[in-house]
Structure formats: structure tokens, C-alpha cells
């Protein structure tokens, strides 16, 4: 892969791969997850016109009933960083990324979602690892939340993060806990949303946090 990227003059993407020497190795999963944001940024910078095609192909992997956790980790970490980059200037890509993260985090069937597309991941029970990566990506939407498009997703994003705060027992040894990732996400989101919305969820958040303080 690194040689291929170098031949395509994608030097930054090839350099990002150096952060993870053996991505097939299970024990190196943490390194792979840490490498994906750098690789995504490099691809967006050097191959910007190809990002829609990359997203389309990744969606096909994610939508397959045969998709394994490693493939879903790749798709999810790519989309999490793509949201952080504002979809590389494309609102359509941000929408696709948000739909993927929200659907995969909840394990919801796309048939029950009015905004789902044929490429949305099929309903499945998400693992703690995938849920945490989804929450991380949703937190990246904080700086976009005041735009009209992201405003439509605010309730779903906020509800997902608030629910996650109460799930202290859901843990993955590689990336941490659902509750902690949800708290981090709320720290990003709450300062940029309307005060009345904060008040609406304040009691629920307080009740979820209380057991950690007892």
C-alpha cells in the first residue's frame, strides 16, 4: 500500500502509513486507529477529487452483511475524521458520514431510518469498539453544529451522547469506555448549542453522572 501511494505521488498518505507497520495485526489495532486520521487528512489534501469515490466504496464495504469489525473500524475512523474536516468542503459527504456513525452506533436498521440510503450499514449489534469510534466522530461535529445541515442532526447527535454517558459498563480495552467518550463529546458539543437545549438535557446528564460521584 505504501509503495502504491508513493507511485501515485501521495507522499503524505504514504508517510501516514509509517505510523502503523502491520495493520493486519490485532495487537496493533490501536496504532491503526491512531493512524487513520493522518491518512484521511493526507488523502483529502492530495486526492480531494477522489474522496467521494473513496466514500462510495467504503459504504459498500460497510453495507455488506459480510463486513467484519476491522472493515467497519476503517470506515468509521475515516468518516470520523472526514467530519472533523468538514467533509473536505462537501456537505453531502458530511451527511453520509453522520448517517453512518449514528446508524452504526445505535445498531439501527436502515429500513427504519427515513434518511438512510442503500449504502447505509445494515442493522447489527455494534461492538463497544465501534460504538466508541462512532461517538468520537459525532463529537467532531461540534464545530459544524450551527450550520443549517448539522442543525437537523443536533437532536440525534446530542441524544446519542447523552445516552452513552449512562453506559459506564460498556468498555473496550483498546480505546476506552462508551461513557467517557460520550462525556468528552458532550464537552465539545454543549458550549456550541442553544442554552435551552442544554437545559433540556441537563437533568438527564446529571442523573447519568451521579453514580460516578457516589
Per-position pLDDT tens, the chain of length 214: 566 566 656 676 666 666 555 555 455 788 888 888 988 998 898 889 989 998 998 888 888 888 888 889 989 999 999 999 999 999 899 999 999 999 999 885 333 344 444 444 444 558 999 999 999 999 999 888 666 656 788 899 999 999 999 998 889 988 889 999 999 999 999 998 888 989 999 999 999 988 888 7
CA distance 61 to 65: 9
Strand, helix or coil for residue 67: coil
Residues 139 and 157 placed together within one structural domain of the fold? yes
Q: Which three cell numbers stand for residue 114?
A: 427515513
Global pTM reads: 0.81
Q: What is the CATH classification number for the domain harbouring 183?
A: 1.25.10
Domain that residue 187 falls in = 47-213
| Interacting residues of 3 by C-beta distance below 8 A, sequence separation 6+ | none
Nearest-angstrom CA–CA distance, 208 and 163: 8
Tell the residue number behind the cell numbers 459498563, with chain if given: 169
Residues 11 and 69 in one domain: no
Amino acid at each position: 500500500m505504501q509503495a502504491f501511494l508513493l507511485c501515485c505521488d501521495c507522499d503524505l498518505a504514504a508517510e501516514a502509513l509509517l505510523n502503523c507497520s502491520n495493520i493486519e495485526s490485532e495487537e496493533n489495532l490501536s496504532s491503526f486507529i491512531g493512524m487513520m486520521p493522518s491518512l484521511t487528512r493526507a488523502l483529502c489534501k492530495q486526492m480531494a477529487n477522489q474522496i467521494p469515490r473513496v466514500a462510495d466504496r467504503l459504504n459498500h464495504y460497510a453495507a455488506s452483511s459480510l463486513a467484519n469489525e476491522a472493515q467497519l473500524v476503517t470506515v468509521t475512523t475515516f468518516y470520523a475524521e472526514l467530519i472533523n474536516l468538514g467533509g473536505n468542503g462537501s456537505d453531502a459527504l458530511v451527511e453520509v458520514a453522520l448517517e453512518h456513525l449514528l446508524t452504526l452506533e445505535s445498531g439501527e436498521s436502515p429500513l427504519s431510518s427515513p434518511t438512510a440510503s442503500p449504502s447505509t450499514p445494515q442493522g447489527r449489534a455494534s461492538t463497544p469498539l465501534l460504538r466508541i469510534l462512532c461517538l468520537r466522530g459525532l463529537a467532531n461535529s461540534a464545530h459544524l453544529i450551527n450550520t443549517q445541515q448539522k442543525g437537523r442532526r443536533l437532536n440525534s447527535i446530542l441524544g446519542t451522547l447523552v445516552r452513552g454517558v449512562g453506559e459506564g459498563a460498556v468498555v473496550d480495552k483498546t480505546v476506552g469506555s462508551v461513557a467517557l467518550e460520550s462525556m468528552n463529546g458532550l464537552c465539545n458539543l454543549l458550549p456550541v448549542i442553544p442554552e435551552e437545549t442544554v437545559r433540556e438535557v441537563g437533568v438527564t446528564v446529571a442523573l447519568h453522572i451521579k453514580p460516578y460521584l457516589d
